[in-house]
Structure 1
């Protein structure tokens, strides 16, 4: 009920009487008062004046469906959002509910206590300073094609940053960097049986409004935030919705027939590694080479020091001889 009342308050610029709300939803004044107080506890500033009613003064900086709704224009991605103030890991929660929920469900939290990235690395997730979310997907495609989803996530984030005026680069296959420092990481996890996919979870963590003193000292040389790089506060709600919009735009053709042409174009044009010397780390093996291109399958084309050219499906990339994250 409180969210129905919230939507009504958002539509009105001025006051709306308790009587009008009561008639609209067929509830008592006591139920309205209870809902208003609950909204206030959530951080909404609502003015109450006798004989005039209620007026919404401001909304909190939270990533609920009610708050991002005005920016969201997807068909199914984000139509069902599970919002948490604090959680251990959005990917973990997404996996817990993936079998019983439909495609496009999103888990988002203001804080992660056990956030992690690829290779089990810790992802620092301070409260209300970033955007930490996971999407449940159920593509009708062979498991061998699922690695491409990471590139779709990277391309969607890159496009969303552009829409709010921030240029970034994609460090193949799963990181977004600005000025050589990481601002976003993507973790894709799959559950499958033989040639059938049960579900895929794509988790995205973004450093949004962290100040320089909020970046841990041991990673300051390779991590940054959108606020640090843009010199201004970022509207998290608009950015979150925009990423979901862009992700669905790129995901639909992929799910229909495996098409990632637009995604590859975005990853090529905004690559942080193409044309540069790199150190390719794959398990305990390290090799030096030069990144030449990203092929139509989403693989990185690398020319090694001995002149051999190979397509790299996955790996941990670092750029040789340069300071910073890449």
Structure 2
């Protein structure tokens, strides 16, 4: 109850329209005493919120830390399903592992695991993902689509389009998609997406979409990576970015359910124009294929023209040459 009251108080401070909200009004809306309000104000200050208290006027929020706790995300969230249940961890081994455990235990569609830090974050093909505290968005979303296993790759591309469009809506800085799910700025990776699932017979039981997005500048990024703030030269509120990503995923998901893969494919290809027509090198389990990236097929696989023939790539590490 104490945490709930604190979150409700924070919501009132975030949403206040006038310069101050009186202690009497807070007490009335939250159904608690003035002493309890003061206690929660102190706790919020300890978390980094700068709150002014003025006699006869009340309280006002002057500044807030860049937190990604549920109450911060909820302030920006406008979805109907996604992100309505959130498990937040200051630090965790992997949000992906936690999401799988939660899904197996019956988590609802749209449930989200998010952490301020991952100690063993991972990417596609067994790679590690650097996830230092306070610098990025490390989250895993649980979906339960009514879909055949053979269409699972569609959701990887759907997630890439969603993050691409979310970032576009928050900044005019040019960002590009590289197959299947990397987002690049100035040819450097800013976001990676990992889609994993559990299926029964030929259908998807649940799907976990892991998203790692570098937001803040930090000296732990490898040379081939960048962050939103480093590239755009502006600051971002991570909770707002998370809410925007969830909203875009929900819109794309609803569109996919109604219209299928075709509109998602079209938007993915529009975001990957700088990728197509380029010479690429695809490292697959069966060897290396070199050629020109031409587009996607109906399954979302990459089409590469190599030595005059079309090659269909379903899984590979792609490098642009």
Deviations 1:250-302 (A, max 9, x none): 11132456x12222112212224311111111125112121111123211111
Pairing 1:233–2:235 present: yes
Structure 1 window deviating more from structure 2 (43-52 vs 147-156): it is 43-52
1:4 corresponds in structure 2 to 8
Pairs within 5 Å for 1:8-27:
8-12=12-16, 13-27=18-32
Give the superposition deviation at 1:201.
0.3
Pairs within 5 Å for 1:218-257:
219-220=222-223, 222-256=224-258
**Equivalent residue for 1:33, pick from 35, 38, 42:** 38
Distance 1:43 1:83 in 2: 18
Deviations 1:47-98 (A, max 9, x none): 2234443222222211233323343221111122222222211111111111
1:275 corresponds in structure 2 to 277
Unaligned runs of 5+ in 1: 321-326
Deviations 1:194-242 (A, max 9, x none): 123221000010111124xx144xx31x211122221222332322221
Distance 1:312 1:140 in 2: 25
Aligned residues of 2:131 and 2:138 also touching (Cα < 8 A): yes
Aligned residues of 2:153 and 2:299 also touching (Cα < 8 A): no
1:122 corresponds in structure 2 to 128
| 2:194 partner SS | strand
Distance 2:29 2:269 in 1: 53
Unaligned runs of 5+ in 2: none
Pairs within 5 Å for 1:1-326:
1-12=5-16, 13-99=18-104, 100-163=106-169, 164-211=171-218, 214-216=219-221, 219-220=222-223, 222-256=224-258, 259-271=260-272, 272-305=274-307, 307-320=308-321
Deviations 1:100-151 (A, max 9, x none): 2110111111111111101121111121111111110000111111111110
Deviations 1:6-41 (A, max 9, x none): 222223333333333223232233332332222222
Structure 1 window deviating more from structure 2 (16-25 vs 173-182): it is 16-25
Structure 1 window deviating more from structure 2 (23-32 vs 160-169): it is 23-32
| TM-score, length of structure 1 as denominator length | 0.89
CA-based RMSD of the aligned residues comes to 1.9
The number of equivalent residue pairs is 313
